[in-house]
Amino acid sequence: MPYLFTSESVSEGHPDKIADQISDSLLDHFLAQDPNSKVACETLVTTGLTVLSGEVKSSAYVDVQKVARDVIRKIGYTKSEYQFEAESCGVISAIHEQSPDINQGVDRGTYEEQGAGDQGMMFGYATKETENYMPLALDLSHKILIELASLRRENKEIAYLRPDAKSQVTIEYSDDNVPQRIDAIVVSTQHDDFIKPASDSAEDRKKADDEMLAKIKNDIIDILIPRIKEQLKPEIQALFNDQITYHINPTGKFVIGGPHGDTGLTGRKIIVDTYGGKGAHGGGAFSGKDPSKVDRSAAYATRHIAKNMVAAGVADEILVQVSYAIGVAKPMGIFVDTFGTSHVDLNNGEIAKKIGEIFDMRPQAIEQRLKLREPIYSDTAAYGHMGRRPEIKKISLQSNGEMITREVETFTWEKLDYVDRIKESFKEYL
C-alpha cells in the first residue's frame, strides 16, 4: 500500500539556525588562527540579545562580539523593527576554557592514541533517490528555503520577505519505496506588514490580513515553486502536479518572527541538519564543535561511507552506525543496514566488517581524511550538513585585527573519492 513520508527544513533566519551559524562562525575563527583549537560553543538568541557560551582551548584571540554581529548582519537582521538587529542587539560572552578532565582523554601523545571527544553513536545514510544521494523530501525542503532566501535578497519579484521561514514536503511512495508524487507542501515565511487596514476595526484588520495572506500564497505557488522546478531533473519535476495541497502561512500572518518571536539555541535542528527523519540520528548536534567531537566528525565520516557505498553499487540505500567511548581511539563497533537493497552476496554484518577494513575510523584518521581542521564550518550551519556540493573556495576571516585568507575544501564528506576502492574490495561479491 502506498505511504506518505514528510521532511522539513528551516531557513538561515530561523532562530535556532542563527544560533548554529554564530557557533560555527566562532569555531571557524578559532580554527583559522589555531587549527588545534578545541571548541564547543553554544549560542542563545532572543529579543535584542545574543548569549555566547561554551568551552574553548586555543592560542587564538577572537573578537566574539564582532563575529556574532557579522553573522546576524549577513543573515539579514538589519532593521530595528525586527526587534533583533545586528548593530543594536546585546552580545554577552560566557565562554571559558575547556575542562582538563575532558582534554586529558582527547590529547594523547601519538596519532593512534588520540581519543574520541565523547561517547555516543553516530549515523550516516545515503539513498539513490536523488542525485546527491539524499532523501527527496528533505532535499526539496532545503531547495524551497534556499530559493526563498534568494528571492528575499533580490528584493524584486517578492519584496516583503523577512529572514525567518520554514518548509515541509510530503511525498507519496509506492510499495517498493519509489516516489510517486508530491502530496503536500508547507511554507511559513516571515513577512512585512505590507497591507494596512483601512481602520482599526476587527473587520478591516481581518480584510487586510486576508489580502496579505492571499498575496503571499499566490507568490509562493506562482513565483517560488516554478523556480524550484527549473532546478530539478525531469523525473522529479513530474512529481509536481495540480493536486498538491499547499499550506502557506497556515497560522495566519507572520510578521513577528526570528529571535523576537521565538528564542533560538544551538543544536535544536539536528534532523534538519542530517536526513529529515530518514535513516537515524545518534542525538548529538554538530554546530560549534571542533572535529575532535565525534558527534560531528564521525557523523560526517559515516555519511562519506554511506554515499560512496551506494555510489559504488553495494546497495541502493544504506545506514551506517559507528560508536565510541570517550578517550578511546578505536570505535566500539560498526553497524550497517541495507534495508534489503544490497547488491552483494554478503550479509549486513559482513558488509560492516569490510567497511572497517576500508575506512580508518579513529578520530585523528577521520580528521585527516576529511580535512576537518580547516575553517569550513560556517557553510554547514544552514540548509543541511549533508548532500551539499564539495568545492574548493577562498575564505576570508578577520581575526585579531588581521584578515586571514586561505583556500579550503568544503564538504569533503560528500566527495565520491572511495568508489573505486570500494568496488575493488567488493568485486568478488558484486
Q: Is 156 annotated as a binding residue?
A: no
Give the closest residue to 374 by CA, choosing from 407, 417, 416: 407
Asked if residues 46 and 264 have their Cβ atoms less than 8 Å apart, the reply is yes
Q: What is the DSSP string of 129-173?
A: TSTTSS-HHHHHHHHHHHHHHHHHHHTSSS--EEEEEEEEEEEEE
d(CA 190, CA 268): 20
C-alpha cell at position 174: 509506492
Query: 309: helix, coil or strand?
Result: helix
d(CA 273, CA 149): 18
Distance of CA 430 to the CA centre of its chain: 33
Q: Is 55 annotated as a binding residue?
A: yes
C-alpha cell at position 374: 580547516
Phi, psi values for residue 413, rounded to 5°: -70, -5
Q: Is 379 annotated as a binding residue?
A: no
Q: Is 423 annotated as a binding residue?
A: no
Q: Is 393 annotated as a binding residue?
A: no
Q: Is 202 annotated as a binding residue?
A: no
Q: What is the DSSP string of 30-73?
A: HHHH-TT-EEEEEEEEETTEEEEEEEEE-S----HHHHHHHHHH
Asked if residues 12 and 163 have their Cβ atoms less than 8 Å apart, the reply is yes
Number of other residues whose CB lies within 10 A of the CB of residue 77: 25
- DSSP code at position 134: S
Residues in the chain: 430
Q: Is 289 annotated as a binding residue?
A: yes
Query: 324: helix, coil or strand?
Result: strand
**Which residue intervals of 155-194 are DSSP H helices?**
none
Q: Is 42 annotated as a binding residue?
A: yes
Q: Is 164 annotated as a binding residue?
A: yes
Asked if residues 426 and 312 have their Cβ atoms less than 8 Å apart, the reply is yes
- 13, 64, 378 from 71: Cα distances, Å: 10, 11, 9
Q: Is 268 annotated as a binding residue?
A: yes
Q: Is the dihedral of CA 25, 188, 251, 81 positive or negative?
A: positive
Any bridge partners for residue 320, and if so which?
A: 124, 336
Binding positions for Mg(2+) are 16
Binding positions for K(+) are 42
Binding positions are 14, 16, 42, 55, 98, 164-166, 253-254, 262, 268-269, 285, 289, 293
Binding positions for ATP are 14, 164-166, 253-254, 262, 268-269, 285, 289
Binding positions for L-methionine are 55, 98, 262, 293
